[in-house]
Amino acid sequence: MEIDYSPAVKQALEAGVPVVALESTIISHGFPYPKNIELAAKMEEIILAEGAVPATIAIIKGRIKCGLTEDELELLATSDDVLKCSVRDLPVAVGGGKTGATTVASTSYIAELAGIRVFATGGIGGVHRAEEGGGGFDVSADLLELSRSNVVVVAAGAKSILDLPATLEVLESYSVPVIGYKTDTFPAFHSISSGLPVPASVSNMEELSQIACMHFKLGLPSGMLVCNPIPAEYAMDNAEVDALVEKARQAAVDAGAKGAAITPYILGALNRLSNGKTSEVNMALALNNGKIAAQLAVHLLSQLEKD
């Protein structure tokens, strides 16, 4: 599959400089303009400051892009007809010459093809709660792609609107390593902890990079999920989040939102109900994940070279 690399990303990959992949749905569907373009710029600045090169991935007029120009970022941030592209949507977007933003699943898929080992996002998708109308069978493609794209994904757990115990069970069934970074519980996106234990945890970046290095050396076919909780100063109280989620989920049910429309609807409702607080928290955790992912990319490259 042909990929268009930005000069900076192409040079970094050829020179063996650490690169961090970034999704683009957070730009097109996660925040309103101009917050979305501010987040994109800050994510790239943080990654560069840690010694890695950011590679935001998207489909621009039918071309797969790995590293975007300012004009391309602006297009994603302002256009009303940007497709939300999971892996299944790539043929439609690319073959149809369309512009699309990549999800966790499609970003992971393209990152592996591009030779990028580390990917930073906000939170992964997961298993939706049965009461939302999915009957317990509405499972994000993010989980399946984590089982087959050989990339380390750094996230603040799964979005707190989801069935987190079921999400962890699916990840176990798919043999995806789940590692807590400075935590022994699964983060709950807006909150530091869900109270659910993670299978393994590490206390520092050296330990994390050693485990990630071994993951690649063993030739395992899956990705790896690194759970990085939101910093305490930005975290919301679990009870506060639960109350907001309950109201937002009921609003989604009443509106008949289903499938791919559920998550954006509920997140939008959360933002309204919290007077914008959840969006600010979302931005803070995404930036923190970018920082940790960049540090991991740098340490992982050093570890792979040393071994």
Q: Of these residues, 10, 23, 35, 72, which one is catalytic?
A: 23
DSSP, collapsed to helix, strand or coil, labels residue 34 as coil
| Cα atoms found within 13 Å of the Cα of residue 222, Cβ hemisphere only | 15
Annotated binding site: 84, 104, 138, 140-142
Q: Are 87 and 125 in contact (CB under 8 A)?
A: no
CA 85 to CA 63: how far, in whole Å?
Answer: 13
CA 284 to CA 50: how far, in whole Å?
Answer: 17
Annotated binding site for Mn(2+): 138
Instruction: Give, to the nearest 10 degrees, the angle between helix 277-306 and helix 35-49.
Output: 30
Q: Of these residues, 44, 72, 159, 291, which one is catalytic?
A: 159
Cis amide linkage into residue 221, ω under 30° from 0: no
CA 254 to CA 266: how far, in whole Å?
Answer: 11
**Is 159 one of the catalytic residues?**
yes
**Is 23 one of the catalytic residues?**
yes
Active site members: 23, 159
